[in-house]
Amino acid sequence: MATTKDINSRAASTNQTGFGTNSSYSGGRFYNKDGTPNLQVDGVSFLQKLSLYKTILKMSGSKFLAIILLFYFAINLFFTGIYLSLGPGNLGGTEDPGALNEFWEAFFFSVQTISTVGYGHIYPRGLATNLFAGIESLTGLLAFAFATAIIYGRFAQPRAFIRFSQNALIAPFQKGTAIMFRLAPYKHNHLTDAEVKVTLAMKLPEEGGVTNKFYSLSLEISKVNSLIQNWTIVHPINEQSPFHNLTLEDLINANAELLIVLKAFDDSFSNTVIARASYTANEFVMGAKFKLMYHRSENKQTTILDMSKLDEFEKVELPVQMYNQR
Amino acid sequence: MATTKDINSRAASTNQTGFGTNSSYSGGRFYNKDGTPNLQVDGVSFLQKLSLYKTILKMSGSKFLAIILLFYFAINLFFTGIYLSLGPGNLGGTEDPGALNEFWEAFFFSVQTISTVGYGHIYPRGLATNLFAGIESLTGLLAFAFATAIIYGRFAQPRAFIRFSQNALIAPFQKGTAIMFRLAPYKHNHLTDAEVKVTLAMKLPEEGGVTNKFYSLSLEISKVNSLIQNWTIVHPINEQSPFHNLTLEDLINANAELLIVLKAFDDSFSNTVIARASYTANEFVMGAKFKLMYHRSENKQTTILDMSKLDEFEKVELPVQMYNQR
Amino acid sequence: MATTKDINSRAASTNQTGFGTNSSYSGGRFYNKDGTPNLQVDGVSFLQKLSLYKTILKMSGSKFLAIILLFYFAINLFFTGIYLSLGPGNLGGTEDPGALNEFWEAFFFSVQTISTVGYGHIYPRGLATNLFAGIESLTGLLAFAFATAIIYGRFAQPRAFIRFSQNALIAPFQKGTAIMFRLAPYKHNHLTDAEVKVTLAMKLPEEGGVTNKFYSLSLEISKVNSLIQNWTIVHPINEQSPFHNLTLEDLINANAELLIVLKAFDDSFSNTVIARASYTANEFVMGAKFKLMYHRSENKQTTILDMSKLDEFEKVELPVQMYNQR
Amino acid sequence: MATTKDINSRAASTNQTGFGTNSSYSGGRFYNKDGTPNLQVDGVSFLQKLSLYKTILKMSGSKFLAIILLFYFAINLFFTGIYLSLGPGNLGGTEDPGALNEFWEAFFFSVQTISTVGYGHIYPRGLATNLFAGIESLTGLLAFAFATAIIYGRFAQPRAFIRFSQNALIAPFQKGTAIMFRLAPYKHNHLTDAEVKVTLAMKLPEEGGVTNKFYSLSLEISKVNSLIQNWTIVHPINEQSPFHNLTLEDLINANAELLIVLKAFDDSFSNTVIARASYTANEFVMGAKFKLMYHRSENKQTTILDMSKLDEFEKVELPVQMYNQR
């Protein structure tokens, strides 16, 4: 098996990943498959740790709607309780008193107040009821202002809309081999000045213990002016590569993990967007190459990008001198 | 005719355009005339491919208004159906019952509820009606919050407001020739740190097949601190240029296409804006130069930029040694 | 007098100002004193030239309010006309019919509808009136959504909040002279990574005509990590400077103008902000230096920046060898 | 004691901090502990100095709510005054006139108008009352639009959410010593391309007076691709360091202060965020090193960052040759 020393004689390790090097204190993979860091923050109170903005923006649409409904119901219940506690006779104007009982009358008065619809067939009487109705309508307006804010936040939030292939392939490349994966924008999004950085993380024996080692990988092309179609990211496994002479088994033993960050400018959002991904050694495929994922339209006037082929590859022979020599 | 080998001996091809090099699988021009990529995404569901944000932001104003009206009508119809299904007697308070029939009464009650105007001359009676009216007013508030969000999104969306000349001209330049086109901001927009990148795309024979080749063009000036007036982008056709020794016919045969990306900072939007354009060989004009498009104001105190002259050029003789030598 | 050739032998002219070089076609100063370009766009229709976003964002607060009021009044008048045309009896519910005449009743019904306040003491009767009231309340909601959008746009618009000194001074500097001006943020705004670019524009005789010439000026310090206090921008007038050997008269004759662009990151706005200024030769002061504009607070614990001193300078002797040698 | 000359022979001072060098005119530390500049702006009117945007965005949540409530109350009081001044009989429709006195009736009519709830059991009569009610409902709508704007501004404002350690430590590093402090994001925020700049400020004797001197410190690592865990910033105290040969006493006498600016891209906010901090010599600890602040989760699958340990250090011996040699 290749030793840390072997690897370091070829490629200098640097740590710009944001993770510490103390391997015995860090657990599991560094990044989750979706590119979020596999790290938990502790030692701060829940409220301090909570970022309302991020929590709400990352929530699913249905969960978001459920929370709004729940909140709407709860706040109406709260004001219903107040109106009921003020006693009967504080809500006036109901022309047919038999229709609803006291609770529902107070509840719907609350609903009509907080939504500012205020039909007026039920209306507040007396100082206290009027006061609370005034507070409730202000509450409604502010809550609604807040809802507008978060709906806009969710709506306009810049996102990368990039998909990464499921696997990273070790494929023939020029006269040797290379490790490659691919990505593509899937929403007709047009990215400008896209730049990708790939880091190889490994847990390697060093000075008696095990240390997290990080290697920046040199790429065939790491920057494109425009990212429209699929893009295959290629790291040639040459003599300067930390992958050189390592078998898939070595990589699995060392918990090898590729950490990927893509940064680009999206002109719809007029903003920089970031996509992340991670491939552990278990997601590497030895001896395979990606299938072409675009073709010409029938009228020959357009190119068609077929996202369903993003993950597709076929097995191929690797050149003999690599991976088989030991 | 010039061969791929000839061209490559002068200028190295690189592909940073976001398009693949497999010419037999790509169709038509790379970018449309308006700078959007000529590419269609397939293999993802409609919903996944849909970007609400981008769709709404790129929609025309009248289409946007029509959709809002349609949606308003549809949702009112939906709630009208509910109120009608709850039977007569569930809406009270109409003082002159002969004025409107049941359907319209329910419809306008719905309109008055969803808009929260709630005059109250029609009002909900009974538990179910009250409940649905409460849900409808919440729906109205949320829909309106969403409308505010997208109106703001449309209103504040940074755009480049740049126009490109209709044609690219092959004009005399210094002692030789150059290919040039021009652009100008047309809304008194003041762009800072504008940078332009021009790529020449050609479909050239290579190894038996035809390959998409992309050449970065060197420009006389590719960056300006401020972009206020018109700017003529100039690529000198010297011995390092991929255009060198090619006739207009050669360019048309090779499906030559100029791909242009302009990136600049707009301080009104406080944001980076991007403009794109494309010229196919059919839009090249051999032997022509642009007419001056600005003049002094009558009181001599201001410069006037005349956008109507953006496309205007006049025919000129090209130096003999170019394009005529074969 | 120094000739163009003299100047060009020392400093290369480049044009990155966004203005053309054809002097006989350009009029007046390049930038106005406030940093906006002295250029008018023509040849596009008013609507195409209009940028709603920029127009509204640059409008003064009082003008903005006046337009809102006018619009509110006009739209109410429009709907009043509709309600009146539908004839008497279409608005019901007024308990004391003598109080208001028909016009005002329709007008206030319109006001109560568009604002969605809908008291209900006046309410729509009949199909047509209900329909228009429904349209009016939707109009009100959309107009208000738009108002929210532009109020947010105005409120959150990143601006530089920088003031420039009234004059540029030609002052003693080290063993020679330098031209300098200063600027300071005046709203406790804290700018990061501020960078300034200064260009000298002159109209100089060349090849029989007069040409606009632009010279990038080298600065003592052109970048600061933080911009909190005042910053004096210094261009040393050495032998490489285009100012070298020019008298104030020469500069005035050549319509000399300093064009300044400051770019910085403001962390309150989380955005890049830009400030511009311009000094014509008439705003140069020969033989003067700026007075110190900050001092220690009384309790010695804070530094105080006195903005009222921004423009203050005192006359000083310049070293003999400069400006007097001819 | 080390002299200015000693220090300058090793490290060149540059001033890119935004503070002036005139030490006798500047007071106290340069930056406050929280990273805001210790500077007060004077000589501009309160209104000109006021930045509504920044003031509201930096306000605490409770203060913000209090101001909204106060404003709501005040504006209602103002309109109450108007309605009262129009005399009795101008508000109609109260079915039980004994319930509220004239003041409260006017007040709650105002509340119901400005919030657009408009029950209608109180409604405006007469031209003047209707007019003011119309103005009040417009006021309500605009105020509420403004509230939406500032709530969104507060909600979406990009912030760095970084904590800095309380102290900067002078610790053993490689074969010598280094000054170090650490920082960590505490809200699961994921920062990309983080860059830190550290400046040492000292008040040193020069040419008879005392001058503010600023030294850029070289760092072991000044840029990381991702900032997720804690990051310890290290300035090695070697022979090029301005700290070389200075005792803690020297540093305190010279009012030494470390000024720190961290700039990074946060992809939740899709924006650049900035964090600042400052350590005065009193916050330096001689001979100490930070304790590890992360550990492996119990199931070994995740790394846990313990923010409560951010400030924790332990005393250690420093190598003899440093700080003890004089």
Q: What is the 3-state secondary structure (H, E, C) of chain A?
A: CCCHHHHHHHCCCCCCCCCCCEHHHCCCCCECCCCCECEEEECCCHHHHCCHHHHHHHCCHHHHHHHHHHHHHHHHHHHHHHHHHCCCCCEECCCCCCCCCHHHHHHHHHHHHHCCCCCCCCEECCHHHHHHHHHHHHHHHHHHHHHHHHHHHHHHCCCCCEEECCCEEEEEECCEEEEEEEEEECCCCCEEEEEEEEEEEEEEEECCEEEEEEEECCCCCCEEEEECCCEEEEEECCCCCCCCCCCHHHHHHCCCEEEEEEEEEECCCCEEEEEEEEEEHHHEEECEEECCCEEECCCCCCEEEEHHHCCCEEECCCCCCCCCCC
**Residue A225: other Cβ atoms inside 10 A:** 20
Lowest-confidence region among A135-144, B174-183, C32-41, D241-250: C32-41
Residue A326 confidence class, pLDDT cut points 50, 70, 90 = very low
% of chain A exceeding 90 in pLDDT: 46
Three-state secondary structure call for residue D86:
coil
CB A203 within 8 A of CB A211: yes
Average pLDDT score, chain D: 87
- Does D323 have pLDDT greater than 50? no
Position A99 scores a pLDDT of: 60
* Number of helices and strands in chain D (H, E): 7, 17
Average pLDDT over residues D56-74: 91
- Chain D residues touching residue C229 (CB < 8 angstroms): 18-20, 39
Tell me, yes or no, if D118 comes closer than 8 A to chain A by beta carbon: yes
Mean pLDDT of successive 10-residue segments in chain C (326 residues)? 68 72 76 84 81 82 92 96 88 63 91 92 89 94 91 87 95 92 90 92 82 90 88 92 90 92 90 92 94 88 90 89 44
Task: List C-alpha distances in Å: D208 to B156, D28, D253.
Answer: 56, 21, 17
Residue C244 has φ and ψ, to the nearest 5°, of -50, 125
- Does B209 have pLDDT greater than 50? yes
DSSP E strands in chain C: the ranges are: 39-42, 91-92, 123-124, 162-164, 168-173, 176-185, 191-206, 209-216, 223-227, 231-236, 257-266, 271-280, 284-286, 288-290, 294-296, 303-306, 313-315
Task: Give the span between the Cα atoms of D45 and D47, in whole angstroms.
Answer: 5
**Residue D311: other Cβ atoms inside 10 A:** 15
Please report all neighbours of B, defined by 3+ CB atom pairs within 8 A. Answer: A, C, D
Position C211 scores a pLDDT of: 85
Chain C nearest CA to A109, separation (Å) = 15
CB contact under 8 A, C274 and B296: no
Tell me, yes or no, if A148 comes closer than 8 A to chain C by beta carbon: yes
Chain D nearest CA to A326, separation (Å) = 33
The alpha carbon of residue C269 and the mean position of all alpha carbons in its chain are separated, in whole angstroms, by 17
Nearest CA among A113, A68, A66 for reference residue A90: A113
CB A115 within 8 A of CB A140: yes
First to last CA, chain A: 9
CB contact under 8 A, C53 and B155: yes
Residue-wise pLDDT tens digits, A40-78:
888 888 878 777 778 888 888 899 999 999 999 999 999
D262 CB-side CA count, 13 A: 32
Task: Give the span between the Cα atoms of B149 and B155, in whole angstroms.
Answer: 10
Cβ neighbours of residue A59 closer than 8 Å, sequence gap 6 or more:
A67
CB B285 within 8 A of CB B174: no
CB A321 within 8 A of CB A244: no
CB A105 within 8 A of CB A91: yes
DSSP C44-95: S-HHHH--HHHHHHHS-HHHHHHHHHHHHHHHHHHHHHHHHHT-TTSEE--S
Strands D257-266 and D191-206, by their bridges, are antiparallel
Position D97 scores a pLDDT of: 52
Lowest-confidence region among A52-56, A298-302, B314-318: A52-56
Position A226 scores a pLDDT of: 87
Prediction pTM value: 0.86
Residue D324 confidence class, pLDDT cut points 50, 70, 90 = very low
CB contact under 8 A, C300 and D150: no
Lowest-confidence region among B6-20, B233-247, D203-217: B6-20
- Does B156 have pLDDT greater than 50? yes
Cβ neighbours of residue C326 closer than 8 Å, sequence gap 6 or more:
C245, C247
Any bridge partners for residue B310, and if so which? none
- Does B95 have pLDDT greater than 70? no
Tell me, yes or no, if A119 comes closer than 8 A to chain C by beta carbon: yes
Average pLDDT over residues A85-100: 71
- Chain B residues touching residue D120 (CB < 8 angstroms): 119-120
Query: CA angle, corner A153, sides to A59 and D73, nearest 5?
Result: 110
Nearest to B147 among C25, C38, C145 (CB): C145
Position C245 scores a pLDDT of: 85
Chain A nearest CA to B23, separation (Å) = 9
- CA nearest to A308 within chain B: B43
Tell me, yes or no, if C22 comes closer than 8 A to chain B by beta carbon: yes
Nearest CA among C98, C93, C96 for reference residue C109: C93
Tell me, yes or no, if A151 comes closer than 8 A to chain D by beta carbon: no
CB contact under 8 A, D120 and B119: yes
For residue D158, give both structure tokens. Answer: 């990009």
Residue D49 confidence class, pLDDT cut points 50, 70, 90 = confident
Residue B320 confidence class, pLDDT cut points 50, 70, 90 = low
Position A280 scores a pLDDT of: 93
Tell me, yes or no, if B209 comes closer than 8 A to chain A by beta carbon: no
Q: Crossing angle of helices C102-114/C61-85, nearest 10°?
A: 120
Nearest CA among D143, D181, D162, D153 for reference residue D67: D143
CB contact under 8 A, D100 and A127: yes
Average pLDDT over residues B21-28: 74
Any bridge partners for residue D295, and if so which? D304
CB contact under 8 A, D16 and C296: no
For residue C86, give both structure tokens. Answer: 């539908």
CB contact under 8 A, A72 and B138: yes
Average pLDDT over residues B266-295: 91
Helix, strand, coil share of chain D (percent; to 5): 30, 30, 40
Position C273 scores a pLDDT of: 92
Residue-wise pLDDT tens digits, D176-189:
999 999 999 998 88
- D37-73 core/surface letters (b: 16 or more CB in 10 A; e: else): bbbebbbbeeeeeebebbebbeeeeeebeeebeeebe
Letter for the amino acid at B103?
A: F
C133 CB-side CA count, 13 A: 38
What value of ipTM does the predicted structure carry? 0.82
Average pLDDT over residues A268-295: 92
- Chain B residues touching residue C119 (CB < 8 angstroms): 119-120
Chain B nearest CA to C108, separation (Å) = 13
Nearest CA among B162, B168, B166 for reference residue B190: B162
Chain A nearest CA to C118, separation (Å) = 8
D141 CB-side CA count, 13 A: 27
Task: Give the span between the Cα atoms of D122 and C95, in whole angstroms.
Answer: 12
Nearest to A270 among B44, B125, B272 (CB): B272
Torsion of the alpha carbons at C1, C2, C4 and C6, rounded to the nearest 10: 150
Tell me, yes or no, if D320 comes closer than 8 A to chain C by beta carbon: no
> Bigger pLDDT: B303 or C5?
B303
